[in-house]
Amino acid sequence: MTRLGCRAVLLDMDGTLVDSTAAVDRIWSDWAREHGFEPAAVIAVVHGRQGQESMAELLPDRPHADNLADNAHLLAREVAETDGIVEIVGAAALLAGLQDVPHAMVTSASAELARSRMAAAGLALPPVQVTAEDVAASKPHPEGFLAGAARLGVAPEDCVAFEDSGAGIAAARAAGMRVVGVGPVAATHAPDVHVADLASVRVDVGPDGVVLRF
């Protein structure tokens, strides 16, 4: 059994708490075909990042304002289209176990999209949320995780982050946090601990802090 001690927990949303793969793949595949890309090539880039940042990488000569406008259209679809969105196995139990633990969600999604997807998956929003509107730089930049730790009043090195994507794991590491990688993609980015889903995670709260068991 692996144990990680901490004072706070930070959680990504898509791929970590919520399985939104069906919706993301459907919407971004449509965008890829509209812009002359193979869908698989686009989907490999977009997970864990704000949409306009992915567009900037894929279309480097396009003005940033065009990317922002294009992403606004995609966000509207993503908020509305929740078919196939479910919780990652064990997410509800983990959130319940963190009820007495400082914790926050740190997501590249907008606040509206986060509310939509968490509701579709039947999950309660954590009390603290850092969303796309709260940061100037998307993952893999550490700004979101640093903001989450600051809002909780906990030093980054005393936090454990749960992430599924390469960009997210890089962001948490850059913030100075230990990382639990969730799902198959995370395993390829050398997290401190890897789990297939959240079913095996246990939370123990004691006088000396929090211990996560896997």
Q: Where in the sequence numbering do the catalytic residues fall?
A: 12, 14
Question: Could you give the CA distance from residue 92 to residue 89 in angstroms, rounded to a whole number?
Answer: 8
Coil, strand or helix: which one is 84? coil
- Encoding tokens for residue 65? 């304002």
Question: Could you give the CA distance from residue 180 to residue 191 in angstroms, rounded to a whole number?
Answer: 6
* Angle between the N-to-C axes of helices 166-174 and 143-152, in degrees from 0 to 180, rounded to the nearest 10: 60
Question: Could you give the CA distance from residue 156 to residue 176 in angstroms, rounded to a whole number?
Answer: 6
Q: What's the DSSP call for residue 11?
A: E
Question: Could you give the CA distance from residue 127 to residue 103 in angstroms, rounded to a whole number?
Answer: 8
> Dihedral of CA 194/17/15/69: which sign?
negative
Q: Are 194 and 186 in contact (CB under 8 A)?
A: yes
Question: Could you give the CA distance from residue 140 to residue 152 in angstroms, rounded to a whole number?
Answer: 21
